[in-house]
Amino acid sequence: MTEIVAVDIGGTHARFALARTENGRVVHLDEEVTLKTAEHASLQTAWEEFGRRVGRPLPPAAGIAIAGPIQGEVLKLTNNPWVIRPSLVPSKLGAERYTLVNDFGAVAHAVAQLDDASFTHLCGPETPLPSEGVISVVGPGTGLGVAQLLRRDGVYHVIETEGGHVDFAPLDPLEDKILVHLRKHFRRVSVERIVSGQGLPNIYEALAAIEDRPVQVRDDKELWQLAMSGADSLAAAAFDRFCLSLGAVAGDLALAQGAVGVVIAGGLGQRLAAHLPRSGFRDRFIAKGRFERRMDDMPVKLITHPQPGLFGAAAAFAAQHPD
């Protein structure tokens, strides 16, 4: 059994936890420690603070998920000034073995290794995720993360994608008008402009313009609260559109990837858990013409593990270093 440090670095927070892996899988994840990235100069100083809180030397192994592409000699994070040089990880962190993975790739690793109890049913048959074939992992959060999980003959592979940046396709006259409005502000309207944390404010402002009403809510957090509670009718209408579009996008991605199952993840995923089953998500997910039967036969799950990024960082390490 190998003890490692699991790290999940985002724009605002860096989360750390000790984990244990064995035979290519995560067997235990300790309680996380969350640090604000703005209060630390680098990953190294945050790592040292985590070590102080643990109160003993950290193990010389790490699985590190970062919000940004894993390419090149210098890794720059999205919405975070830290810079990571992979070649210096052993000397800076004392990690003799390490794995670097994109944050949403880490979520797909978590989907691969978590048990059925870590998911809740959204639509389709109430069966476990298939053990063979492609699982599409879609995560609305700050952006829209998309990955493929391929399971074949007891082995899995994670394929990171930029599927969140495909074009938004309106499906009714109101969405035609929303797209026209958004084109005034964005040179190109991707699905991330609609189905992510920024999506609800974008839809809300578009609906306000369509109805020639002033925008009443300026704070995104307040807007989400009003939308999900139904306290503001226009915010609630924007939220309905958000859920419809998430269903349509998830279905499109599943078709494009040849999926046999879908997992909704991301920072907004758990917030939406009580709302998606009662929304138009399913209707839009299966509304794929000749493929409607296939879509309705596909299990769609919501990941409920509290720290899929941390678990996935450890899982990525375990997959790369199975002994």
Q: Counting Cβ atoms within 10 Å, is residue 290 exposed (0-12), middle (13-18) or buried (19+)?
A: exposed
How many whole angstroms separate alpha carbon 286 and alpha carbon 36?
A: 40
Q: Is 9 annotated as a binding residue?
A: yes
Angle at 237 between CA 231 and CA 242, to 5 degrees: 115
Q: Could you count the other beta carbons within 10 Å of the beta carbon of residue 117?
A: 8
Residue 7 labeled ligand binder: yes
Does the annotation list 12 as a binding residue? yes
**Strand-pair category, 61-66 with 97-102:** parallel
Q: Which residues are 158's β-sheet partners?
A: 149
DSSP 190: B
Q: What residue ranges in 273-321 does DSSP mark as E strands?
A: 300-303
State the angle between helix axes of 199-210 and 173-183 in degrees (0 to 180), rounded to the nearest 10.
100
Name residue 174's amino acid.
L
Dmax of the chain from CA atoms? 63
Distance separating alpha carbons of residues 201 and 194, to the nearest angstrom: 9
Q: How far is CA 272 from CA 25, 51, 173, 197, 224, in A?
A: 29, 35, 26, 12, 11
Tell me: is residue 161 an annotated ligand-binding position: no
Residues with Cβ within 8 Å of residue 282, at least 6 apart in sequence: 122, 123, 247, 300
Residues in binding site: 7-12
Which residues are annotated binding-site positions for ATP? 7-12
